[in-house]
């Protein structure tokens, strides 16, 4: 069996890892430079900044055991009894996908199903052929943009799933030490101030702010963020810091789909991701595990 997985976030990378362990041929397609998705880590000189997911606090034993294995492999660290983190979130996905073929910088734009085989076409109109099973791990709006024939098992529309956006601003460099974090955390519309270390921090704006501005470009967003910060720190000068702005348009699931995965046995496709049944990494993990456990015989 030749399986194509679209999206190398947690769900796609974990799926690839599990299927590879069953000796199944897997190709993981990712539109960005490498695995990450919302578990992204951005690098600038000596700085590594997680500007999406920051860590996990498992609620179920299965995911806790998975996290403990990552600790034993030296990929993540443990803090307190139930919190796992790393300053390089995407290393988790690099670790999971290390033995599979990852097709980076490949934005899948369309999918054709012909004679029981899938043909995937990328942004350069290059075709990838010969797949007899496809698994999508991307947001519902992007699945619908690919091919409107993808339905669910019970025909509930994918469009019923909704998301909150998250605007983030990362600041790094020696000047970060001098920032007044107490005043910064009093910022209106701040969801979270994530201090990663003495020299780097990330501001996550709340849904009210992020949803309102989620159609703007980063170039337009950044001055708006600066204005907000100057309300609590009047002398804030962004030029003193290494910085970048990011918009997670599909940041957190607001209304999930309501089933752990979607599977069409006849057409050999499935959909797994956090938004099927939740909003965090553990939900993506559960989506993949439930799908694979329910259909073990398919992947022998
Ligand atoms: C700011 C922020 C903070 C968060 N904090 C936490 C936290 O502390 N703890 C926690 O558990 N969760 C957190 N989350 C949620 C967590 O990041 C997600 O639940 C998880 O990463 C989802 O993984 P996924 O694989 O389902 O989706 P994604 O990570 O979104 O992966 C989808 C991948 O598909 C790729 N892609 C999309 N379309 C295409 C295409 N057409 N062709 C090829 N590739 C494509 C994307 O580039 C992406 O890599 C946070 C999310 C955000 C935004």
The pLDDT profile of the chain, 300 residues, written as one tens digit per residue, is 999 999 999 999 999 999 999 999 999 999 999 999 999 999 998 899 999 999 999 999 999 999 999 999 999 999 998 999 999 999 999 999 999 999 999 999 999 998 999 999 999 999 999 999 999 999 999 998 886 566 555 556 898 999 999 999 999 999 999 999 999 999 999 999 999 999 999 999 999 999 999 999 999 999 999 999 999 999 999 999 999 999 999 999 999 999 999 999 999 999 999 999 999 999 999 999 999 999 999 987
Helix axes 10-21, 281-294, angle to 10 degrees: 30
> How close is the Cα of 233 to the center of ligand 1, in Å?
32
Q: Is 241 in the pocket of ligand 1 (CB under 6 A)?
A: no
Please tell me whether residue 171 adopts helix, strand or coil conformation.
strand
Q: Which of 7, 163, 254 to mutate to test the pocket of ligand 1 (most atoms within 8 A of CB)?
A: 7
Q: Which of 238, 253, 268 is the last residue of a domain?
A: 253
Does 238 lie in the same domain as 128? no
Domain that holds residue 173: 162-253
Q: Please check whether residues 20 and 156 belong to one and the same domain.
A: yes
Burial class (CB in 10 A: 0-12, 13-18, 19+), 210: buried
Is the pTM higher than 0.75? yes
Does 28 reside within a domain? Answer: yes
Residue 117: both structure tokens together: 């085989």
Ligand 1 pocket member 274 (CB < 6 A): yes
How far is the centre of ligand 1, averaged over its atoms, from the C-alpha of 9 (Å)?
5
Q: Rounded to whole angstroms, how far apart are CA atoms 202 and 48? A: 12
For residue 6, give the nearest of 150, 94, 106, 84 by alpha carbon: 106
Check if 52 has its Cβ closer than 6 Å to any atom of ligand 1: yes
- Let me know whether 133 and 239 are in one domain: no
Q: Which of 12, 27, 52 to mutate to test the pocket of ligand 1 (most atoms within 8 A of CB)?
A: 52
Q: Is 93 in contact with 8 (CB distance < 8 Å)?
A: yes
Using DSSP's 3-state secondary structure scheme, residue 191 falls into strand
Q: What is the rounded distance in angstroms from the CA atom of residue 222 to the CA atom of residue 7?
A: 28
DSSP for residue 293: H
Question: How many domains does one find in the chain?
Answer: 2
Tell me, in angstroms, the distance from the centre of ligand 1 to residue 235's CA.
Answer: 34
Q: Residue 59 domain-assigned? A: no
């Amino acid at each position: 069996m030749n399986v194509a997985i679209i999206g190398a976030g947690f769900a796609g990378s974990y799926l690839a890892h599990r299927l590879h362990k069953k000796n199944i041929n897997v190709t993981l397609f990712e539109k960005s430079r490498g695995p990450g998705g919302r578990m992204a880590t951005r690098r600038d000189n000596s700085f590594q900044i997680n500007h999406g997911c920051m860590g996990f606090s498992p609620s179920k034993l299965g995911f806790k055991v998975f996290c403990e294995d990552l600790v034993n492999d030296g990929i993540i660290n443990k803090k307190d009894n139930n919190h796992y983190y790393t300053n390089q979130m995407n290393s988790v996905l690099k670790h999971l996908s290390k033995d599979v073929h990852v097709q980076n910088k490949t934005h899948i734009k369309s999918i054709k199903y012909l004679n029981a085989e899938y043909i995937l076409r990328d942004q350069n109109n290059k075709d990838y052929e010969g797949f007899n099973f496809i698994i999508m791990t991307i947001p519902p709006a992007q699945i619908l943009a690919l091919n409107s024939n993808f339905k669910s098992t019970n025909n509930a529309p994918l469009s019923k799933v909704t998301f909150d956006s998250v605007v983030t601003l990362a600041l790094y460099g020696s000047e970060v030490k001098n920032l007044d974090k107490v005043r910064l955390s009093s910022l209106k519309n701040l969801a979270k101030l994530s201090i990663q270390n003495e020299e780097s921090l990330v501001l996550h704006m709340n849904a009210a702010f992020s949803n309102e501005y989620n159609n703007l470009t980063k170039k337009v967003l950044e001055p708006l963020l600066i204005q907000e910060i100057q309300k609590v720190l009047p002398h804030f000068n962004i030029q003193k810091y290494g910085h970048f702005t990011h918009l997670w348009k599909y940041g957190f699931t607001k209304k999930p789909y309501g089933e752990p995965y979607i599977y069409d046995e006849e057409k050999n496709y499935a959909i797994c991701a956090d938004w099927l049944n939740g909003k965090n990494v553990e939900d993506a993990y559960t989506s993949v595990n439930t799908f694979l456990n329910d259909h073990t015989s398919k992947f022998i």
